[in-house]
Structure 1
Amino acid sequence: MVNRGQTFEEVIPPAVSYSRADGELWVIGLRGHLDPEELDTVEDATEDALVRWTGPLVFDLREVGFCDSSLLNHLLRTARRRGVGIFGGDVTVRRLLELTGADRLLPSHPDLESARAALSTLPRQARP
C-alpha cells in the first residue's frame, strides 16, 4: 500500500515489475538497472515462483536498462533447476549472452508468445 508521501515506484521493489502465472509459464518482469545490489529482489521473486510453480519460467527483460554478470549467473543457476527463457532483452543483453555462450542455455525470444511456443513443450517439474 502506498503511504502518504510515497510514490507508487517507492513501494514496488525496483527490480521486479511483476511475477505471475501466464498459461503454461510463470513470467517474471524485470526492470531498471540490475546489478548485484538489486539482485536480492530478483532472487526472491524467482524462488517464490519455483516454489509455487512447476512449469518453465520466463523473464521479461523489456524494461531492463542495464544488467551485468550477476543477473546472467542468476538466470543460469535458475536454468539448472527449471526450464528458463527470456524475451525482450535489448542488444546489450543479447550480446552478453552471445559473448559468454549463455545463449545456448538461455533461449532468447522476441516476445512472450514465441517463448510460450518454445517452452510449453517442456515437462513440468515435480514440486521440491
Structure 2
Amino acid sequence: MVNRSQMFEEAIPPEVAYSRADGELWVIGLRGHLDPEELQTVEDATEDALVRWTGPLVFDLREVGFCDSSLLNHLLRTARRRSVAVFGGDGTVRRLLELTGAGRLLPSHPDLESVRAALSSLPRQARP
C-alpha cells in the first residue's frame, strides 16, 4: 500500500522546496545542487509565480548547496521581468553575486524579514 503523503512528496520536484505568496511577496524556496540539468524545474516554478503574482519575487537560497552561472542567469532574466531579491545564500552564492556584479541587480539579504524591511523602506511609488 502506498502512503498518500509519500506520493505527494515524490511529486514535488527536489529543487523547489516551496513556492507561495507571503504577504506582499512571492517566495520560492530552492534547495540542493542547482546546475543546468536541474534548472528547468526552477524555471517552471518561476514562470508559474510570474503568472500568478504581480508583486516582487524572492528566492530563498538557504538550502542551496551549489549553484553556478545557470541559476545566476535565470535570476537575472527574471529580474528583467519583475523585482527580484534573494536571501539566505551561503558564502559561495554571495561571492558569485559579488564577483559578477549581479548583487546590484539582485539584492541579497540574510533573511526574509530583511527583504520585507528593505521593501518597506522604499517610497510607495518606487516599490515594484
Shared fold, TM over 0.5: yes
Runs of 4+, deviation exceeding 4 Å? 6-9
- C-alpha deviation, 1:7, in angstroms: 7.1
Q: TM-score, normalised by structure 2?
A: 0.88
Amino acid at match of 2:36: P
| Distance in structure 2 (CA, Å) of the matches to 1:13 and 1:119 | 30
Amino acid at match of 1:71: L
Higher normalized helix content (fraction of residues)? 2
Amino acid at match of 2:12: I
- C-alpha deviation, 1:119, in angstroms: 2.9
| Structure 1 residues 30-83: Cα deviation after superposition (integer angstroms, max 9, x where no partner) | 000000011000000000000100000000000000000000000000001000
The question of 1:48 aligning with 2:59 is answered no
On the 8 A contact 1:55/1:123 being kept in 2, the answer is no
Aligned pairs for 1:1-128 within 5 A: 3=2, 10-120=10-120, 121=122, 122-124=126-128
Q: TM-score, normalised by structure 1?
A: 0.88
Please tell me the root mean square deviation across aligned C-alpha atoms, in Å.
Answer: 1.6
On the 8 A contact 1:39/1:71 being kept in 2, the answer is yes
Unaligned runs of 5+ in 2: none
| Distance in structure 2 (CA, Å) of the matches to 1:43 and 1:118 | 25
| Distance in structure 2 (CA, Å) of the matches to 1:110 and 1:12 | 26
Number of matched pairs: 121
Q: Which moved more, 1:112-121 or 1:95-104?
A: 112-121
